Amino acid sequence: MKKVLVLLLAMMMIISLIGCSTQTSADPEPGDETGEVVENKYVDGTYVGFDNAGEKSYSKAIVTIENDRIVGLELIGLTDMGEVKGEAYPYETFHQAKAALTEAFIAANGTEGVDVFTGATSSYNGWKLALERALEKALVEPASDNVYFDGTFHGATELGERGRKLAWVTIENDTIVDVVVKETRFVDDKEVFKDEEYTFEIFHEAAEEMPLRFIEANGTDVEIYTGATSSSTGWIEAVERALENAQR
């Protein structure tokens, strides 16, 4: 009887050891090499970012993320009219930089370690900031509670028969601190900005007053300028688009 009990105890110990061995040798949960589960930094999806708009141009990045990797990236240059610099854009270095930096940012899975493209420093800086802002939008844990990025952002209405309206909106800590508005017209079938030679005085008055109203309201809930309805409503739309581009 004792021999039977000893035999049973021995078998139970062997089974227990096998179970422990099997458990420790099993594959760890998905995560790093220690077996610890690693949470993603980014939320999968497609995100758009803009750099700070200059007087003549600005940049845009559209990035797609899957499982914390950049799987798609489109770098775009835009003019002061808000139009895309397409294949007809005459500066070859711009197109070379666009192709090279697209590949480099994807390979680096971001902007870190990607060098300036010789001859296209401005484009490089613009796309770098635009991509960084797009990636910040994708963060699982937001980097800020602010609604907007700090910086200057561009907005434009669609081109119509009489031209278009444009706005440059500067934001600091969710507060509009500066607004510049412009408007174009056609002269000899060429689109040009309305400048001091444009003789409609109310337009110039509105161009000075409307930015003050946007700043005071910290948005576009403002009254139009009497006598300049078309300009006022167009600038409201342009400022709204600039604020959309500034959103985190």
- pLDDT above 90: residue 133: yes
Q: Residue 79: which domain range?
A: 45-137
Domain co-membership, 203 together with 174? yes
pLDDT at 8: 44
The domain total for the chain is 2
SS (H, E, C) the chain: CHHHHHHHHHHHHHHHHHHHHHHHHCCCCCCCCCCCCCCCCECCEEEEEECCCCCCEEEEEEEEEECCEEEEEEEEEEECCCCECCCCCCCHHHHHHHHHHHHHHHHHCCCCCCCCCCCCHHHHHHHHHHHHHHHHHCECCCCCCCCECCEEEEEECCCECCECEEEEEEEECCEEEEEEEEEEEEECCEEEECCCCCCCHHHHHHHHHHHHHHHHHCCCCCCCCCCCHHHHHHHHHHHHHHHHHHEC
Is 9 inside any structural domain?
A: no
Mean predicted confidence (pLDDT) in 161-179? 97
Report residue 22's pLDDT band, with 50, 70 and 90 as the boundaries.
very low
Task: Indicate the range of 10-19, 59-68, 76-85 predicted with least confidence.
Answer: 10-19
121 and 196 together in one domain: no
In a domain, 17, yes or no: no
Summarize pLDDT for 196-230 with one digit per residue, the tens: 999 999 999 999 999 999 999 999 999 999 999 99
- pLDDT tens for 29-57 read 445 555 566 789 999 999 999 999 999 99
On whether residue 49 sits in a domain, the answer given is: yes
